[in-house]
Amino acid sequence: MKKLTKVIAAVSAAAMLAVPANMSAFAYYAPFYSQSNQLENRDTSPGRGERWEDADIQQDMPVLLDWAMSTGETYTYYPTVDKQGRAFGNCNMFALLPLSIATSATINNARQYVDSLNVRKSDGSYYALSLEYSDVSRTDSHRRRPSIQVNPNACDYGLRMLEGPYLQDILNHFYIDTPENINYDYIKSHNGYTGNIYLDDHYIAGMRLSSSDPYTTFDEPVLEENPKTYGKGFRTRITFHISDPTPAQVWNLGVPSYVPGSTNFDVLKDLKITCNGDTSYYVKNYIGVGGISKKTITVPNKAFTYNTPNYTGIVLSPDVRQTLTGSELATFKSNNFIGYRDNRNTTLNIYVGKNMPINDSRWSTKTGAEKFAGFLNGGGKAELKNSATIKNLLRNGNVKTVYFFDNATAYTLGAEFYHCSANELLNILNG
C-alpha cells in the first residue's frame, strides 16, 4: 500500500466569490447536498485524482477560499468529480487549501476550518478527509533558504477522501513521546502522567482521540510544524493525561498485616479516533489507533490495602465492619471508634478510640468501675447494644471475660481500664 502523504484541494462552501487575481486555480459554488454543483478536478494527467504535488496540476484542481474560515459553520460536499462529471472516490483528492488558510508556519489556524468539512457520497455514507502536505509553493524551502523563489499561486496543503484500509494505514502510525514513563513509580511520584501522542504528516477532519479505560483523557488536537523535518511539513499533537489508577485505600481488619501481590490496570486501552464521517461503515470500522498498544500499570496491593490483626472489627450501626473504606475509614483513622478483637478463646477485648466522644464526666477517671460507668452512660452502651455480633460473642458461651481499653488509635491498642464477665456485660446491654 503506497504511502498517502499529500495535500488538500477544496472549494468555497456557501457563496460564489471571485478567485483572487493571483490565484490561477479554480473555486466553485457548492451548496449543501447539491450533486449538480460538485467540485470539479479538471486534471487529465496520469495519476489524476490522486496527484496534486505539482503547481501545474494544481491549476486544474478546486481550491477552497478562506472566507468561510470565520463563519464557524459546517459545510457538506459531494465527492469531487472529473471533467465528465464522474465522482472521484477513495484515495482521491477532494480539494486544496490556499496559502491564506494553510502554511506550515500557521497550520494550527487551519484545523477549525478543516473540521468544518464533510464529504457525503450519493448513498448517504461519508468519506473521512485527511489533511496532507507537500512543499509545492516552496514557502518552507524559502524560509530555510531565502534564495529559493516562492510560488504564491500554489498550495502546500490538501484534503484527500479516505475510507477502509487506506484510512487505517494512516492511523497505524501514531506514536507517544515518552512511553517509558508510563509506569506506576512515575505516575505515583508525579500524581499521574501527561504526555503527547503524535501523527506525522496527517490530520483527519474532526479528529478526536478516545480510550475505553477510565484513567486516560485527551485534549483537542493541535497542528504544529514537525521539528523532525526541519521546518517542512506538520504533525498532529494530542496531549493526554493518565490519572493514578491506584484505588481508594481499604483497611481489612482481623487479618495478618502482610499484603501480597499486585493489581494490573490498563491505560490507553482500545484507542480510536472519532472524526467527520465516522457514522459510515468504511470509516467507523477503520479508525482504530495503531502504533500504540495499551499500557499496563502494575500497582502493588500494599499501596492501597492495609491489613491489621489489631482489631477484628469496628462497631458501626447497624452492627460491625471488618472492611473500611471512604468516610468510615477516615473516621476510624481519626481515632473515633469502638473496636473489638475476638481472641477466639475465653476473652473479648473492647477498644475505645482516644477521640471517641464519651459524654459523661466520669469518663475522665483513669480506671475502674466509675470510668466504665461513664463509658456506658456516655454512649458506649448504646453503641454496643445495637451490635448483634457483640451480643452473639457474649452469649455463645466461649467468651468468659471482657476487657476494656481506652486511648486506642488506628495503630495502637491503648491501655486496659476495666474488665467484667461476659454475662455481666450481656445483662447490662439487655437491660
Judge whether 367 and 418 are in contact, CB under 8 Å. yes
Torsion on CA atoms 230, 232, 238, 240, rounded to nearest 10: 0
Q: What is the pLDDT of residue 75?
A: 84
Q: What is the pLDDT of residue 231?
A: 78
Q: What is the pLDDT of residue 13?
A: 30
What is the distance, to the nearest Å, from the Cα of residue 163 to the centroid of all Cα atoms in its chain? 26
Residue 180 cell numbers, joined: 517509558
Any residues with CB less than 8 A from the CB of 161 and at least 6 apart, and which? 79, 80, 88, 89, 90, 91, 92, 93, 94, 119, 127, 128, 129
Any residues with CB less than 8 A from the CB of 73 and at least 6 apart, and which? 13, 14, 116
Q: What is the pLDDT of residue 168?
A: 97
d(CA 107, CA 158): 12
d(CA 419, CA 52): 93
Residue 21 cell numbers, joined: 487575481
Pairing status of strand 295-300 against strand 305-308: unpaired
Q: How does DSSP assign 35-60, residue by residue? A: GGG--B----STTTTT---SHHHHTT
Q: What is the pLDDT of residue 37?
A: 60
Q: H helices within 255-342, ranges in order?
A: 281-284, 326-333
Judge whether 322 and 253 are in contact, CB under 8 Å. yes
Q: What is the pLDDT of residue 431?
A: 82
- Give CA separation, 103 vs 8, 56, 147, 280, 332, in Å: 12, 19, 19, 31, 62
Ranges of the chain whose pLDDT falls below 50: 1-36
Q: What is the pLDDT of residue 230?
A: 80
Q: What is the pLDDT of residue 67?
A: 59
d(CA 178, CA 180): 5
